[in-house]
Structure 1
Amino acid sequence: MSTPWLPLTQPEQLTELAQASHEQPVLIFKHSTTCSISAAAKGKIERQWADSGLTLPIYYLDLLRFRPISAQIAEQFGVRHESPQLLLIKDGECVYDASHMGIRLNDVQAAVK
């Protein structure tokens, strides 16, 4: 099964996913399409997704095309902007934040429980 990326392209989606995170946690992956480290992190997520057992919605943010949304994420969830970055939103708050090669789906699994 491939990673079920959901495109994050509209600022209103942040409000919607924050509200939805009260029912089920939500992931946001911030990706720079010109960065090799970001490409490696995205590939790692895609390779590990099927075996992770995660069934969470995972949103994909193209930082170069939608930079203002990244700034809104930092402000709304109180996290420093990084790229690549994986955030777990639960009950409207960021409960897991990892960047670069520190992104691990098994850490997400532990944070979800």
Structure 2
Amino acid sequence: MIKLNSIEEFNEVLEKEHALFILKHSTTCPISLAAFDEYESFSKERQEFPAYFLTVQESRSLSNYIAEKSGIKHESPQAILFANNEAVWNASHWKINTKSLNDSLEQVN
């Protein structure tokens, strides 16, 4: 998992990767902590798949930019799968788990 801090970093990885996940994480929410743990487990199982995250409190402008670019209303925690520069899947709160993340990869195969 790689932490993103800026809009520039996000745009770089979006151009570089065919497909990738972004997790919007809140450090003050216990549901977000559970989602982060699931995301981290997924990332360790699927090391070949690019997994990025941002901390909403530290990167509010990046979080807002992703919401605008993807057309997906901001929530946290929130996982978004991008493929070919477009958001193709998303989930929030308790719907972020290793099974849903793995299942979503069918969108990019």
* Short-chain TM bin: 0.7 to 0.9
Aligned-pair distance for 1:11? 1.1
TM-score by length of 1: 0.84
Alignment match, 2:48: 55
1:73-92 alignment, distance < 5 Å = 73-92=66-85
Aligned-partner residue type, residue 55 of structure 2 = D
The answer (yes or no) to whether the contact 1:28–1:59 under 8 Å persists in 2 is: yes
Aligned-pair distance for 1:84? 0.4
The secondary structure found in structure 2 opposite 1:26 is strand
Alignment match, 1:107: 103
Which of 86, 89, 105 is residue 96 of structure 1 equivalent to? 89
Which of 7, 27, 33 is residue 11 of structure 1 equivalent to? 7
TM-score by length of 2: 0.87
Measure the CA separation in 1 of the matches of 2:43 and 2:15: 24
Superposed CA RMSD in Å reads 1.5
Any stretches of 5+ residues in structure 2 without a counterpart?
none
Measure the CA separation in 2 of the matches of 1:12 and 1:48: 25
Alignment match, 2:20: 26
Instruction: Determine whether 1:35 maps to 2:29.
Output: yes
Aligned-pair distance for 1:58? 1.0
Which region of structure 1 is more displaced relative to structure 2, 89-98 or 40-49?
40-49
